[in-house]
Structure 1
């Protein structure tokens, strides 16, 4: 059974910039540069038949390429932070694309995603991080902005079950069409 999710790849030069941020927080497990991505819809462990149906449905998505920029820095987990991330500037096109993925998954029988879509790129997963270092990291990277980049495709990723996910493999890619 593959463990699948849909997402966007991060351009190499932007991933390089994110990689330069690594370090300085004890208790952080930093994500490898080639594993940076923006998740659109986590699908989970499914059988091959459903995976083929999802692939077929994703091929039918009709959306145009769009521009995106990563921006800011934050943590998930409140008083017990467990993930450090870089955010994404608001994008109606990104939200529409994610909503299409959500609809496809629900139509094919998957339960609705329980969490509100919060687009981000995870930099590190954390267990009992040094809170002073974490707050300092977030404060010093809060004004981060990547270059604007074009999203011309989305992908169907697979991952092997492991703590924190990864490594990820691109199973299929789907081009966004300018005439959509």
Structure 2
């Protein structure tokens, strides 16, 4: 069964800037820059029939303009037991609407509602046995974080390995903003209605 999620890709040039923060933190398992992304809606393990339905349904997403994305700080998840180092994505009404639309579509296909508050981010490292003090010192030593800005031209449906996260992630279908009725698809997708996808 494929493990799926929707998200935004991080351009290589932005990934290179984020990759400069790699290293120097014992207990960190660094994500390969090729796997940097911004999750919109985690879907999880579904059978191939549901996966195809999701890929087709995402093609019904309303046409919207490309999104301006700003990564504005280093941040963390986990509080007193840190579990991830992040590039924080500045919230925007457009991003919030896109994520809410994906939540609505996933409920239509029968998925349980997402109960956690949506916090857009790029995971840079997963952490194990890292103290909050060491993590705070690591962030402080990096000094000022310059804002990283890019324009997202599409959202995608990713698949992931079953296991601990971190990739590799595969683009199963791509949906350009401004042209959702003609989604892009990587090599060899079968076509069903408006959507093209790899899921066989």
TM-score (normalizing by structure 1): 0.94
Matches within 5 A, 1:76-155: 76-141=77-142, 143-155=144-156
Deviations 1:11-36 (A, max 9, x none): 11100001111011100000001010
Name the counterpart of 1:27: 27
Name the counterpart of 2:18: 18
Using the TM superposition, give the Cα deviation of residue 138 of structure 1 relative to its aligned residue in structure 2, in angstroms.
Answer: 2.1
Flag structure 2 segments of 5+ consecutive residues without an equivalent: 182-200
SS of the residue 2:135 aligns to: helix
Q: Pick closer, same or farther for the CA change 1:142–1:110 going to 2, 3 Å.
A: farther
Name the counterpart of 1:163: 164
Question: Residues 71 and 143 of structure 1 are in contact (CA less than 8 Å); yes or no, is this contact kept in structure 2?
Answer: no
SS of the residue 2:74 aligns to: strand
- 1:48 & 1:141 partners in 2: Cα distance? 44
- 2:21 & 2:108 partners in 1: Cα distance? 40
1:37 has 2:37 as partner: yes
The number of residues matched between the two structures is 180
Using the TM superposition, give the Cα deviation of residue 143 of structure 1 relative to its aligned residue in structure 2, in angstroms.
Answer: 4.0
1:74 has 2:75 as partner: yes
Bigger relative contact order, structure 1 or 2 (CA pairs below 8 A, ≥6 apart): 1
Using the TM superposition, give the Cα deviation of residue 116 of structure 1 relative to its aligned residue in structure 2, in angstroms.
Answer: 0.7
Question: Residues 74 and 142 of structure 1 are in contact (CA less than 8 Å); yes or no, is this contact kept in structure 2?
Answer: no
SS of the residue 1:149 aligns to: strand
Flag structure 1 segments of 5+ consecutive residues without an equivalent: none
Using the TM superposition, give the Cα deviation of residue 66 of structure 1 relative to its aligned residue in structure 2, in angstroms.
Answer: 1.9
Q: Pick closer, same or farther for the CA change 1:80–1:40 going to 2, 3 Å.
A: same
Question: Residues 73 and 141 of structure 1 are in contact (CA less than 8 Å); yes or no, is this contact kept in structure 2?
Answer: no
- 1:161 & 1:178 partners in 2: Cα distance? 32
Question: Residues 28 and 129 of structure 1 are in contact (CA less than 8 Å); yes or no, is this contact kept in structure 2?
Answer: yes
Q: Pick closer, same or farther for the CA change 1:142–1:76 going to 2, 3 Å.
A: farther
Question: Residues 59 and 180 of structure 2 are in contact (CA less than 8 Å); yes or no, is this contact kept in structure 1?
Answer: no
